[in-house]
Structure formats: structure tokens, C-alpha cells
Structure 1
Amino acid sequence: MMWILGLSIIVSVIVIYAFQWIIMLTDPKFRNRSSLPPGSMGFPFIGETLQFMIPSYSLDIHPFITRRIQRFGPIFRTSLFGKPVIISTDPEFNNYLIQQEGNLVENYSGPVSTILGKFGVSASDIHKYVRSITLNHTGPERIREKLIPQFEDMIIKTLHQWSTQTSVDVKQSITKMNFHFFAKHFFGYDIEKLPSNTERISEELFTDFTDGFKTIPLNIYGTTYHKCLEEWKKAFKIVKNMLEARRNSPEKYRGDLLDQVIDDLEKEKLMNVDQNVLLIIGIWFATCASISSAVQLLFKFLSDDPSVLEELREEHEKILRSRDKSSSSLTWNEYKSMKFTQQVMNEALRFTLLLPGLIRIALRDIHLKEYIIPANWIILVFTPNLHMNSEIYKDPLTFNPWRWKVCMKFPFHLFIYLTFLINLITNKFLISFNAIKDLDSLTVSKNFKPFGGGLGQCPGAELSRAFTATFLHVLVTKYRWTKIKGGKAVRNPILGFSDGIHIKIWEDAE
């Protein structure tokens, strides 16, 4: 009987999605395919999702993209995860879309956007609020005044723990460390101090949620997507209970993200309790996931290239030698002085992205030469092709931090300002990239978008850099390590490692 029930559920889901597909096919805009960008929609419901997710064991762009560029050109249509999608690898059109945030397109966050949309809140309003509240708690001022020494203290304790183990899975261990730290930082959730019989948010929450992004969204028991949703619901319930408890006990306020959300519930009235709980978990997830991916990649490249590690160690030991005897903690000024470290981080960020581009949704029909991108279609602004462009980055598959040396001569704040200004006032390339051999701030502003661009740029960019730099500082000045397993790159389509990266680490005896 159980197999009959299971089969009935599967057939029902297929029928439902088949009807959705029929509805899409009967849309006049879709039937008039000559007005759409070229491409293929694949099979009903699943579209071309399976081809999109086939692993590619290379640091290069996924073959799904390169083959379709060769066949259809830089802008093409497809269907992924049950949604019609336009994928654009055209730099000029992508820059235009980024600047049209809130006008022609708005940010799309998949299931989270769907849930929030049910409450009548637009994605643009959500983004503005998220950006503001995130910067309040993870922006440059908070990093300067509070977070860098906290990062350093946590990393010292964590690496010491790692040194007592025979093997460490880097991404899993980094995610666990940040999972605990930012839970405490954002909403006072100290997992280590909870009673053993207390229901708690699983440390696998973010791993499962990331895996859920890579699967067909079938909410059927036993699927990765179902497991992801169940973990999310449990986390939602716990955080909501914490919010309500603190809301009823103002004396327990601690000035964190949760407190600001509670205050804004009374003042702004932009979103209700449920929406704000989702946002807290979303900010928590985005912070942890982006950092763990970057650090894992750095372990691979530093393990593979001793010359990079040697120069990195030299820079950080110089910081230690230049300190006053009374000074023991890393400072903001020391962080900002790490020129080669910034180059190393830039080069790692060029390879890694949490998502394969910027995901937007068309607010209305977008006319593109002789084509029309229909309203409500998803647009994947594909950015990895910028980072792997051999006309801009010589030998793009080679990890080469020194390529950023010219760019890093410019003050970092000036670089950020120029990036924003150029994105704002121009939609066209101002120079021929074929003539460029070294990277400068202008080249970078148009062709380096690890944290997005325009109004949609990630507000946690500085936090991610500050954490990674602090982690490298402790790592290279106090420890040595060797890679004992993993490190084989795989894109499906997000860059990762098929067996992870496992290391053995020990304290430096020198």
C-alpha cells in the first residue's frame, strides 16, 4: 500500500506541474517564440535542469553555459527548476540590468521571495531594508569597533581545536564556527549553552539549505528539498519564539539584530513578525555560506602554491613585528594595510560565487534589440564569464594574486567609489579590453562582481573580507598544515569540491 501511495503522490505532482507547463505554453508571449531570445526550454517542468546540474570537474565556466553561448549567442532562454529563465552573459546588457534595479528588474530570492511576496512586500523594499539593517550590524563601523577582535579570538580558539584533530573538513568546520558565532551575534542564540533536552537549530541547516538550491523543488518526503524545508521550518519556529520572548521582556535587550527588528516592527511597520524572522535567518545564512566557500577555496590555492603562502606569511609577520609591545589584537588599520592579502582574497573571489550570477525577475516586458524578455521571467545575470575572460585576466584558470598588484595601488575606498560611479553613469565599455595587460580600478569596476553590483551589491562584502583576512592572519602566523584529502574542483553549477578539502593542522613551533 505504501508504494501505491508514494506513486500516487508522484503522479499528482507531475500532473500539477504539467498543467503549469501547459499554462505557460498557452501564454501568447511564449507561443510567439520569435520574439523571445533563442534557446531551448527542454522537457516539461524539469526543462534543462538536469543538464544545468551535471557536474563539471573544472574551475572553468560550466559547459552548460559555454555550449549554449556557442549555439545561441550571449543571451538565451531556457527553463530551470520549473521556471522560464533568460541567461545573459553579455557584459553590456548585464551592466544595464544592474542599473535598472527597481525599474525594469528586481532581486529574486527564489522560495524566500515567494514566501515574502505572499505578505505583500516588494523585493525592492525588502532589499533596501535588508541592506540597511545588515550594514548597521556588520558594516565598516561595527567591524572597526567590535568585530575584528571578536573574530580573532574565535579563530584562535577554533584553530587550536582543529590542531587536536587528525583530520578537519574545512568547509564543514568553518560553517560550524560561523553558524555559532553569528547566531550569538545576530540574535543571542548561544547553542553551546543550551540544555541538552532543548530543541535546537541543527548545524546542518545551512548545508541542507544550500543543497536544496541545487535540486528540483519537489516537496515530497525523502527529497533533499523536503528536508531543507523541514530544517528551515524548525529554525523559523525557534527564532520566532526568541523574538516574541524578547519582545515581551525589553529588559533583555542587547542591541543586536533581533532588537533592531523588534524596534522596527513598532516604528516602520514594513513587515510583520514572520517576515522579519525569515530575514534574520536569511542574513544569518548568507553571512555563513559566503565566508565558508571563500575560506575553503583559499585552503586549496595556498596548499597548491607555496610561493603565495610565503609572501602572505611575510606580510602578516611584518604586522606582528611592527606592533607596539602592548598591542596584541589585530586592528582595523592593520587589516586595511594588508595589500597582498587583499590581492589573494580578490583572486579567490574571482573563482568562487555562492550563486552562478545575479538572479533578477523582470517587472515588465524588456525590449532587447529584436527580442522581448516577458514580464515575470527570471533573468540570470551570469557573472562568472567576466571573471574567466582571458582578454581581461591572463591565464584565467591560474590562481595569480599578483595580477591585482596594479589595482591595489589605489586606495580601497576610492576603488569602491569608482566602481559605484562607473556602474551608475555608463552602460558601455569605455576602453578596449584587448589592450589591457594589467588590472586597474576601471577594469575591475566593470569586470569583477563577486558581491553583485549596483544597488543590489551585497551589504556583507566588507564583513566577508574582514573575517577572511583575520582568519588568514591567525592561520599563517601561528599554524602550518597539509592537505590530506580532497581539493578536486566541481561545478554543478556552483563551484565546490567533490570530496571537500580535508587538512591536518598543527601549531607552528618556530
Structure 2
Amino acid sequence: MEMEMGDIHLYIVLFIPVVLSGIFIMSLNKRKLQRTPKLPPGSMGWPYIGETFQLYSQDPNVFFSTKQRRYGEIFKTNILGCPCVMLTSPEAAKFVLVTQAHLFKPTYPRCKERLIGPSAIFYHQGDYHMRLRKLVQGCLSPEAIRKIVPNIEATAISALESWSGGHIVNTYDEMKKFAFDIGILTIFGPLDTYYKEELKKNYLIVDKGYNSFPSYIPGTTYKNAILARKRLSEILSEIISQRKEKRREEKDLLGCLMNSKDEKGQILTDDQISDNIIGVLFAARDTTASVLTWILKYLHDDPKLLEAVKAEQKAIYKQNAEGSIPLTWAQTREMSLTYKVILESMRMASIISFTFREAVADVEYNGYLIPKGWKVMPLFRNIHHNPDFFPDPHKFDPSRFEVAPKPNTFLPFGNGVHACPGNEVAKLEMLIVVHHLATKFRWGVEKSRSGIQYGPFPVPQHGFPARFWKEPCSQIQHEVA
């Protein structure tokens, strides 16, 4: 039967809107799909373990740089059972750590958090974090620490003299002892020898267990660390109680924490104080010791640079009547070449290779999706070794810091609200140690070898074993064993 012309017209009138509606809906869905960000490129490795073995079985620099060359400045992986997004550009680091920091919370494994303490500053965001940061930063500001320059200097001299005599010392281990003593000085001021030794003994047990397998079986390294952490809390409670009995408002970090009150007049609990003190000790010791060890190696490897540093330091030494007058804060500000050596050492060594954050919501960055709950890792080492920002990046060249680095390209202390609040103390320690090494000591390296070992911070092979001698006269001679 033939269809009437009027019926055809009716079908056309009815069919065309349906077709157009379908095309419109398909177009919307297509646009929606186009707008939905995709995951970054990269490999997730094996189920659960991901690419953990690849990262920890080789130099991590090789792992990171290989990934960056293959996938670009943002890529995904899986480390220790956690899906991760790694970022290698200054813009990405700024996005995560500064401009959108509220979308990325600090994250640490529960087993590590338990050893330091859940109230420590670097586990938190928001009001509590800002309150603690303001306190710690105030107590460790240049205005506050300039008063303890003589105390840091006395500790440095004592440490260096204990190494002298020509016996072999593990430089990194000795620097850790020195940095711990400065941490104690900064937190407590002068402290009773008994408490100092008890803190050191138990801290070392906790430190040993920090990177061990988290087993709660009695006798294991981690279980011993848990017990030592409990003992640290008890020791700190005793020190706090004694401070309260004396009713003196000390200006050290402990005093600042004890005397702090929030807007409601609430003081910090003993546990909150203890967690933050232990957190400061953890943050202050190994990182500073690692940089100091690298400084010695870099100076040892460049005799011409070492002589220039000695010349700068000897000029100050002569101002102080051959060291009979203590250093001043103002003099540490005059050590321009030494300061550039410190900055270049931090860039080259990149002690903190990356930092961990966790996305608190789905986040879009540069067209890619960072899913809620994924770990996010700005890779400081990749940024520090990028030739676009630091020409010939594997060459040790302090002169590159005669001009300030581009923003967000030099991040040895992190960036944003979680940047290290103790960075001024750390740099002051380094300046003072180098001053006395360059003016009073000579040293020789025992079986010097190239290469890096990670534990977890990068240090020269075998902790840079060396011999130190105290100079009997003002003429400093550098000796290579």
C-alpha cells in the first residue's frame, strides 16, 4: 500500500525532532566525556606491590628520571600498595604545596606516625597546624636563634675536637650526634645530663625502628621502638613537671609550647607537647647531618673551592683574635661564599627527594585527574636537577646562587604551609661547623669512593669515613689520605 503524501509529511515532522534530540544528547555526552579528565600516563606495576621493587632496588634518581623521560612531567605509579601521582615541575609543586594546599593533606604510614606521635605538627592541617607552626616558627626565627650562636659554637667546637687525633670517624654518624645535641639545645636550652642521655638513648632506639617492618612481636626492632617511644613520653613528662614547679617562663621551644594558649585559653596537653618535641628532633637531626656530610665531601673534592672558603673564614677568624672571641650572628651573615656552598650542597644532594601528600578530593591538574585518596609526590630532586633551571645540573657550582633561583625551583626545605620551620637553625649550624673546620682543622678521607647510599636520606658511601686533625698553627693545610 502506498503511503499518502500527508502521512509522509507527518512522519517527517515527528521523526526530525527525535533525530535532532538524539544528536543533541550524543553531542552533550561527547562533550562531557571530553571534559572528564583522565588519569596521568604511567605504569602501575604488579597488583598491590606496584613498582615498589623497581624503586627500591636501584638508585631512585634513575627510577624517577626514567619515568619523567617516558611519560612527561606528571605520571602515575604504585608504591607500597598506594596509587601515586608524581609531579616534576615547579608549577605542579606550587599547585600541591601552596596554591591548592588545602586539597592535599600530609600523609604518613600509621606505623611511623605512632613512633613520632599523632599530635606532631606535620600530620595536621587547619587551625591546630597553624597554631603549632606559628609557635615553632617563632621560637626558631632568626630573631630567636641569634641568641644561641655562642651555644651552638661551643657544641660545634666540642664535637670537632672529639673527632681529632687522626682516628677514623664515620662523618655522617658524628654529624648526627652533633645535630641531635643542637636539637636538644634549641628545644630545652641547658638540660640536665641525665635527661639528655636518657632522651638520646631512647631516641636512637625509636630512630632505628622508624624504617623497620612494623611487627609488634616482642624483641623485634619495631616493638622495641614502641617501648622506647613510651619511655620518651615519660621522660618528657618529668621535664615538663619540673618546669611547671619552677614556674619560670623559659624562651626555648619547650617553654613556648608550655605557655601557649589558644583563643579559648586552652593550653597544650603533655602528649601534644611531647609529640611535637619528638617531631622536631626527627626533622632536625638526619637531614642536617646529611647536608653537613655532603658539604665536607664537596669541599674535599674541590681543593680550589676549599681554599676560597678557608680564606673567607680566616678573615673572620682574624677579626675574632684567632678564635679567642666568639662568633656573632652578624659574622655568620658575612659568610657569602660559604652560604652559597651550603645552598649548592642542598641542591646537589637533595636530601628530601620528594614529599608525600594525599588528595582529599578529586583534583584536576593540567587536564589530568588526581583521584581522591591517591598519594601525590612532588619530586624535588627532579626539579633541582633540571637543566632548564640549573644549567649543567650535575656539576657542583656554588656561583649559580649568585642569582636567586626562579620561584619554586629550589625547595630544600619544602614550600608552603608545611615548609620546614627550622630552616634558619639548620643553616646556622652549617655555617658555624664550616667556620671551625676551615680555620682549625684539616681532614683526610679514608678510602674515598664515589656513590650514594640511602638510609633513607642520601649520604656519601659508608658515611664518608675520614680522619681529622686539629691544626697546631694558623696555617691550614688540607690533606687527602
Q: TM-score range by the shorter chain?
A: 0.7 to 0.9
Structure 2 counterpart of 1:504, from 467, 477, 481: 467
Alpha-carbon distance in 1 for matches of 2:220, 2:49? 15
Q: What's the secondary structure of 1:506's corresponding residue?
A: strand
Q: What's the secondary structure of 1:357's corresponding residue?
A: coil
Aligned length: 432
Alpha-carbon distance in 2 for matches of 1:210, 1:100? 36
Letter in 2 for 1:387: H
Structure 2 counterpart of 1:358, from 355, 358, 367: 355
Q: Is contact 1:367-1:373 (8 Å) kept?
A: yes
Q: Is contact 1:88-1:94 (8 Å) kept?
A: yes
C-alpha displacement of 1:130: 3.5
Residues 365 and 277 of structure 1, relative CA distance in 2, 3 Å threshold: same
Q: 1:218-252: per-residue Cα shift (whole Å, max 9, x none)?
A: 555666555544443332332234334434x1436
Q: What's the secondary structure of 1:282's corresponding residue?
A: helix
Q: Is contact 2:167-2:467 (8 Å) kept?
A: yes
Query: What is the correspondence of 1:85-164 to structure 2 with a 5 Å cutoff?
Result: 85-111=84-110, 116=118, 122-144=124-146, 146-164=147-165
Q: 1:470-507: per-residue Cα shift (whole Å, max 9, x none)?
A: 11111101111111145543254742233111111111
Equivalence for 1:74: 73
Alpha-carbon distance in 2 for matches of 1:355, 1:222? 31
Alpha-carbon distance in 1 for matches of 2:176, 2:291? 11
Residues 118 and 333 of structure 1, relative CA distance in 2, 3 Å threshold: closer
- Normalising by structure 2, we get a TM-score of 0.80
* Identity %, equivalent residues: 27
Q: Is contact 1:86-1:373 (8 Å) kept?
A: yes
Query: What is the correspondence of 1:237-316 to structure 2 with a 5 Å cutoff?
Result: 237-247=234-244, 249-251=245-247, 254-264=250-260, 269=266, 272-316=269-313
Is the counterpart of residue 482 in structure 1 residue 444 in structure 2?
A: yes
Alpha-carbon distance in 2 for matches of 1:326, 1:51? 51
Q: Is contact 1:297-1:352 (8 Å) kept?
A: yes
Equivalence for 1:462: 424
RMSD: 3.2
Residues 261 and 129 of structure 1, relative CA distance in 2, 3 Å threshold: same
C-alpha displacement of 1:103: 2.4
Q: Is contact 1:489-1:495 (8 Å) kept?
A: no
Residues 384 and 156 of structure 1, relative CA distance in 2, 3 Å threshold: same
Alpha-carbon distance in 2 for matches of 1:381, 1:42? 20
Alpha-carbon distance in 2 for matches of 1:444, 1:268? 43
Q: Is contact 1:162-1:505 (8 Å) kept?
A: yes
Equivalence for 1:205: 203
Letter in 1 for 2:145: I
Q: What's the secondary structure of 1:398's corresponding residue?
A: coil
Residues 497 and 191 of structure 1, relative CA distance in 2, 3 Å threshold: farther
Q: Is contact 1:364-1:375 (8 Å) kept?
A: yes
Q: 1:303-351: per-residue Cα shift (whole Å, max 9, x none)?
A: 1111111000000111223457997111111111111011100110102
Is the counterpart of residue 53 in structure 1 residue 56 in structure 2?
A: yes
Residues 166 and 47 of structure 1, relative CA distance in 2, 3 Å threshold: same
- Normalising by structure 1, we get a TM-score of 0.76
Q: Is contact 1:186-1:256 (8 Å) kept?
A: yes
Alpha-carbon distance in 1 for matches of 2:165, 2:323? 30
Equivalence for 2:180: 179
Q: Is contact 1:386-1:447 (8 Å) kept?
A: yes
Q: Is contact 2:133-2:421 (8 Å) kept?
A: yes
C-alpha displacement of 1:469: 0.3
Residues 63 and 503 of structure 1, relative CA distance in 2, 3 Å threshold: same
Alpha-carbon distance in 2 for matches of 1:118, 1:376? 21
Q: What's the secondary structure of 1:164's corresponding residue?
A: coil
Q: 1:347-390: per-residue Cα shift (whole Å, max 9, x none)?
A: 10102334322322222110124432122322111111111112
Deviates more, 1:217-226 or 1:80-89: 217-226
Q: Is contact 1:106-1:124 (8 Å) kept?
A: no
Residues 117 and 329 of structure 1, relative CA distance in 2, 3 Å threshold: closer
Q: Is contact 1:176-1:203 (8 Å) kept?
A: no
Q: What's the secondary structure of 2:316's corresponding residue?
A: helix
Alpha-carbon distance in 1 for matches of 2:88, 2:372? 20
Q: Is contact 2:103-2:361 (8 Å) kept?
A: yes
Equivalence for 2:371: 374
Structure 2 counterpart of 1:450, from 394, 399, 412: 412
Equivalence for 1:64: 63
Residues 37 and 222 of structure 1, relative CA distance in 2, 3 Å threshold: farther
Alpha-carbon distance in 2 for matches of 1:507, 1:312? 18
Q: 1:16-41: per-residue Cα shift (whole Å, max 9, x none)?
A: xxxxxxxxxxxxxxxxx983223333
